[in-house]
Amino acid sequence: MANLFASIPAKIDAEVFEALLTRANVRIERILSHGQSTPEQTWYAQDEHEWVAVLAGCGILQFEDGTEVKLCKGDHHNIPAHVKHRVKWTDPDTVTIWLAVFYPA
Amino acid sequence: MANLFASIPAKIDAEVFEALLTRANVRIERILSHGQSTPEQTWYAQDEHEWVAVLAGCGILQFEDGTEVKLCKGDHHNIPAHVKHRVKWTDPDTVTIWLAVFYPA
């Protein structure tokens, strides 16, 4: 996937995860959503820190402590390792493009 | 700087470097250019690897071996540590927004 805004499938039935760079000390992914969310009561909690930016569309991150962060085009947020989070909502009307940088704790 | 596409100065007389995230194991920067280039015969060659993406505008990276890589909106490129490179050209007609992720070699 040579361009962050290209190769968007016409139909996204499930979130699409694509590795852009995989190295020992960093992992960069593009994630495409189109209305998907993480199943209820399901949490991500990884050993790495994650810096995430939204390049198009909008999504809402929900944290186990109840806080929510809405990210739209250009917004970014850092999620520390082991912090439980899920995607509560993504825009059903357009593709949301996430750029995620995972780095060692 | 809360949004990657916001807080663009009306006039950019010199490249603008802004830290988005600074941690022991990663550094993420936004860089704004508007026609600027690295001075002739001047090279960047850092101890960290650098993954760079262009989010708006266009720029040309030049490497010491003579190769050039043109990056426009959405294009990304990985620059290994110690590889000498410079920005040969950026679009004089619009602001180029670079997102750079520096990670340990």
The predicted structure's pLDDT at residue A2? 83
**Token pair belonging to A13:** 């039935």
For A24, A50, A61, B10, B21, the CA distances from A76, given in Å and listed in that order, are 23, 11, 11, 23, 10
Q: Which residue of B has its CA nearest to A6?
A: B74
Task: Mutation target for B interface from A51, A52, A69, A72: give the one with most B CBs within 10 A.
Answer: A51
- CA–CA separation, A58 and A82 (whole Å): 24
Residues of chain A with pLDDT under 50: none
Q: Does ipTM top 0.85?
A: yes
In the beta sheet, which residues pair with residue A102? Answer: A27, A50
Strands B85-90 and B49-56 turn out to be: unpaired
What is the CA B90 to chain-centroid distance, rounded?
10
pLDDT score, position B1:
53
Among B21, B47, B102, the strongest candidate for a mutation testing the A interface, having the largest count of A CBs within 10 A, is B21
The string of DSSP letters for B27-92 reads: EEEEEEESS--PPTT--B--SSEEEEEEEESEEEEEETTS-EEEEETTBEEEE-TT--EEEEEE-S
Asked if A104 lies within 8 A of B25 by C-beta distance, the reply is: yes
Mutate to test the interface with A, among B5, B25, B72 (most CBs of A within 10 A): B25
* pTM (two decimals): 0.95
SS3 A97: strand
Tokens 């917004």: give the residue: A75
Contacts of residue B80, Cβ cutoff 8 Å, sequence gap at least 6: B49, B105
Q: For residue B61, count other CB atoms closer than 10 A to its CB.
A: 20
Q: B68 CA to chain A: closest CA distance, Å?
A: 16
Are A85 and A63 a contacting pair, CB within 8 Å?
yes
Chain B: give the shortest CA distance to residue A95, in Å: 15
- Decide if B101 and A101 are in contact by the 8 Å CB cutoff: yes
A78–B49: do the CB atoms touch at under 8 Å? no
pLDDT at A1: 53
How do the pLDDT tens digits run along chain B, 105 residues long?
Answer: 589 999 999 899 999 999 999 999 999 999 999 999 999 989 999 999 999 999 999 999 999 999 999 999 999 999 999 999 999 999 999 999 999 999 999
Rounded CA separation B19/B53 (Å)? 15
Chain A residues with CB-CB distance to B3 below 8 A: 73-76
Instruction: Tell whether A69 lies on the interface with B, counting CB pairs under 8 A.
Output: no
C-alpha distance from B94 to closest chain A C-alpha (Å): 18
